[in-house]
Amino acid sequence: MANSPNRDLDGLLVISLEQAVAAPYAASRLADAGARVIKVERPEGDFARGYDADANGYSSYFVWLNRGKESVALDLKQPGDLKIFKQMLSKADVFIQNLMPGALDRLGVSMADLRQADRRLITCDISGYGASGPFAQMKAYDFLVQAEVGLAQITGAPDEPGRVGVSICDIAAGMTAHAAILQALVARAKTGEGRAIEVSLFHALADWMNVPYLQHHYGGREIRRPGLHHPTIAPYGAYCCGDDRMLLISIQNEREWLRLCSDVLDQPDLPQNPKFDSNVHRVENRTSLDAIVNGVFNQYSIDKIAEKLQAAQIAFGRLNDMDVFTQHPQNRFVSVRTSSGDVQLLSPGAIVNGILPRLGDVPDLGQHSAAIREEFS
C-alpha cells in the first residue's frame, strides 16, 4: 500500500557495519520502515549470533534486531572485499557503524571523506563512550556502562546494586541513533545535505539519568536503591497478598490516597494521621505505612485486592514472571521467518493506522553475499 508505514523509507539504502545490539537496533527499525538494509558482517559473523540458541536455534537478540536485513560477509582487511565495501558506501543514503573508535580510519575509510564525496550521505557512529575524552578507547559493554553511568548503583534492592535485566544502554543508544537518523533524513529532504551523527552508549543512557542527576546535583539528595518501591512517592511499590503473590500499587495524588484508605484499606481516618497526611510524611514513614498496607493485603488473594483497587480507581500492576507475561492478554505478536522456521516476536510498540507491522526475514550469515558482491563489483 502506498501509505503503508512498512514502505515509508522505500528506496533508501542503509549500509550497517554492525555487531551486538546498538547499531543493529537502529538499523532494524529502518528496515521495518522499508529501507534496504545491508548488514555487513565479518566472515565469522556478528558475535551476537552466538549469544544463545533459544529462538529456534537462533540467538534471541539476533532474531529481535536483524529482521528484514540482507547479510553480506566481508573481510575488510582483504583489498577485494574492502573495495566492494567502499562501492556499497558510494551508493548509500545512510551508513551506520559501531566498531571501536579509529577502526574505520585504520581501514582507510573516513566518515568525513565519505560525506565530502557525497554530501547527501548521513553517517552514524555508535561507540561506547564517544570519540573523544579519556574513555574513548575503552571497550564498552552494556553492563559495564550501566555501572559506569550510575544506573546499577540506583537499581536493585537496598542492600545490593543490580543490573537492569535487558541491555538498556545498547537499546538507549540504538533508539537515540534511530531518532537522529530520521531527523537527518527530514533535514536532508529540505536542504539536500547529509549529517554526521555520533552516539555513545554512555551518553545515551546518561541522558536518561537526568532525573537522579538533577536530584543529587542540585537537590543534594542521596539516591537510594528502593527495590520494588518508588524512591520519592509512597505508597508506590510492591505488597504481598494472601496467596503470596506480589502486587504493586501507585498513589499519585492525595485524592487517590483518600480512596485507597477508605475503599481498600478500610481505614478512612488514616490520612488524618500526621505521619501520613502528605506524600513527604508518608515517604519519611514508609516502614510504618508499608506495614499497614501489607497487613490488609495479606488478608486477601491478589485477585480480590485487584478487584478492590479497580473499583477504587487505584492504579496497580502484578509482579509477573515470564510464564505469566508470555500469556498476558495485552500482548501483540508478529512473526518473522528464519531458515529454521517462524519465530513469534512481541510486536513493536507503535501501531500505525491500526495495523500490525509486517517484519522481514532474519538472514543467515552471508545469505546475500553472492548477490551483493555481484551488484557492487
Catalytic residues: 170
Residue 202 one-letter amino acid: F
CA pair distance 117, 87, nearest whole angstrom: 12
The DSSP H or E segment spanning 118 is: none
CA pair distance 98, 339, nearest whole angstrom: 27
Separation in Å, CA 115 to CA 95, 149, 237, 314 = 10, 32, 51, 54
Nearest to 32 by CA among 78, 81, 76, 65: 65
CA pair distance 343, 361, nearest whole angstrom: 10
Which residues neighbour 50 within 8 Å (Cβ) at sequence distance 6 or greater? 59
CA pair distance 267, 289, nearest whole angstrom: 12
Residue with cell 540504538: 174
Q: Decide if 27 contacts 39 (C-beta within 8 A).
A: yes
CA pair distance 325, 350, nearest whole angstrom: 19
Nearest to 227 by CA among 246, 252, 208: 246
Residue 185 one-letter amino acid: L
Residue with cell 560525506: 115
| Beta-bridge partner residues of 40 | 17, 72
DSSP label at 74? -
